Amino acid sequence: MSSLLACYRLWVHPLRKFPGPTLAALTEWYRVYYTAINEGGWLEHLEKLHGRYGSVVRVTPWELHFNRPDAFDDIHVAPKPQFIKDPDFYGSLLTPNAVAALSDPHEASKRRHLLGPYFSRRSVLQLERVVQVTVDTLVDRLCMYADTREPADLFLGYRATTLDIITSYLFAQRFNALDSPKFRHPLLIGLDESLKAGWLGRYLPIKLDKWLPESFLRKATPKIVPILDQIAYIAGKLDDISANPPSLHDVGHRALFSVLFDTSKSDTGGDPWVFPRAQVIDECFSLQFAGSDTVGNACMVGTYGLLKNKEMLNQLRRELDEAWPDPQLPMTWEALEKLPYLGAVIKESLRLSHGVASPLPRKVGSSDTVIAGVAVPARTIVSCGTYFVHTDADVFPEPKKFKPERWLNGESRALEKYLVAFSKGSRTCLGINLAWCELYLIFANVFKKLDLEVWNTVDDDLKFLDFFLPLYTGNHLHAQIKVRNTTPLAPSTIRQRRYNYSS
């Protein structure tokens, strides 16, 4: 039987004419090897495959991967009806019930319609103070490093900032990750381990977290205990609110739970959540970590790029100093958006941090289609990773170099269609507005108020492995911190100051 299947896949299957390794055409275990055995090595190997076979490669018996930027739009934006998210891929993720993982486009549309207003630009502007107060705390903590002259771990510092922002925004309750010694909050440390475990576990025939008792998982995999604790925290919040609905209003601002809570169901004694409890937990968990990783990585990549090039750093500072003469007064997101070089730095940081590392597969519908000029059979799984869009040399000359200036020439508008760190189309990242707000406020406040100097970090430390999200395995980006001479505030004064925002 296996011989017949092999013959079918090699000589009869609709994808038989597409180039690629013979072993990949025979079995998905070809990819599993580079993902699981050669841990996180699939993206690097995929780049080599395109170098050998061309712009489209058969990577499994039923899947094609494209490396041309126009393929990304054809897959994610253009199809009518749209290609669905591959159920096998998304169903194996840690949060299969979250909107980002839903394969049914109609169900996803309903969920996004419910959640979208909470993440709209208008909503983010109304809660900008939540972001600013947390960014103030980051600057505060970094000033303490200026006092002690100990190098600061900016990799964890930025992630702690984004974790505190997203938990404050979603739950109206900050986790205080920035208060952890050296920013080593258990949840941040556990996240990378859970990322590896979850990504490799998708190839197991059963989901261990569904079949094994939590008590066993806690003992067998202690590094992911903070993740289990976070899931328990979310579940506990749901139970508390179910038992006491008025507690929804006992927080500083409207939290995500209020969007997901149905008062009419609560009044009748039924399940008070707009969709089943397991889905609510997945949604909260997914939004929390999607909201902390992409922005934190972009800040780390951009900071390193600026600190390695003093001319770029000085240009950013000149722009900030001219537009923002008094750092004692906060500068808003809307005002910062008008600064062209700051915007260019942020876009370049997103380009080189990529968002999600792994190609995100879609399933072609019941009719044949065309992707990047290539005829593709019906029901084929297709993908085009953001990494390949962001490093295409025809679109971005010298693609591996950090060059904010590429976004300032007359063709910068045309380039923006190829910035896909938040994906594109109807399934673009829900939290994109919050992410942009975070990026502008973090970059502006850090580089306006502080002098940074790279410490014990080299280019190779910014290489990453593909575990769905980028997993950086080198030395964390560290920097020596000084308060900028142009800042008329002493570190102790900065630590005591808090901006006064109206609700």
Q: d(Cα 362, Cα 111) in Å, to the nearest integer?
A: 19
**What residues does CATH 1.10.630.10 cover in the chain?**
116-354+419-496
Distance between CA atoms of residues 41 and 48, nearest Å: 11
Per-residue model confidence (pLDDT) at position 96: 86
Residue listed under structure tokens 């997103």: 350
Contact criterion met (CB below 8 Å) for 483 and 495: no
CB 89 within 8 A of CB 361: yes
Q: Which amino acid is at 160?
A: A
- Measure the CA–CA gap between 161 and 149, rounded to whole angstroms: 21
- The predicted structure's pLDDT at residue 318: 98
Q: Which CATH superfamily is domain 116-354+419-496 in?
A: Cytochrome P450 (1.10.630.10)
Instruction: Measure the CA–CA gap between 156 and 162, rounded to whole angstroms.
Output: 10
Block means of pLDDT (10 residues each) for the chain, 503 residues, are 87 96 95 88 97 98 98 86 88 86 91 93 95 97 94 97 92 89 89 72 60 72 77 86 77 80 68 85 87 91 98 98 94 98 98 95 94 96 98 96 93 88 91 97 98 96 92 94 70 42 33
Q: 273 and 261 in contact (C-beta within 8 Å)?
A: yes
| Dist CA 442 CA 275 (whole Å) | 35
Q: How far apart are the first and last CA of the chain?
A: 68
Question: 130-145 burial, b if ≥16 CB within 10 A, otherwise e?
Answer: bbbbbbbbbbbbbbeb
Residue 284 annotated as binding site? no
CA distance 345 to 407: 8
Q: Is 343 exposed, middle or buried (0-12, 13-18, 19+ CB in 10 A)?
A: buried
Q: Calculate the alpha carbon distances from 302 to 56, 155, 245, 440, 472 in Å.
A: 31, 11, 43, 12, 15
- Please report the pLDDT score of residue 36 as a whole number: 83
pLDDT (0 to 100) of residue 49: 98
Distance of CA 432 to the CA centre of its chain: 10
| pLDDT on residue 502 | 34
pLDDT (0 to 100) of residue 494: 42
Distance in angstroms (rounded) separating the CA atoms of residues 102 and 91: 8
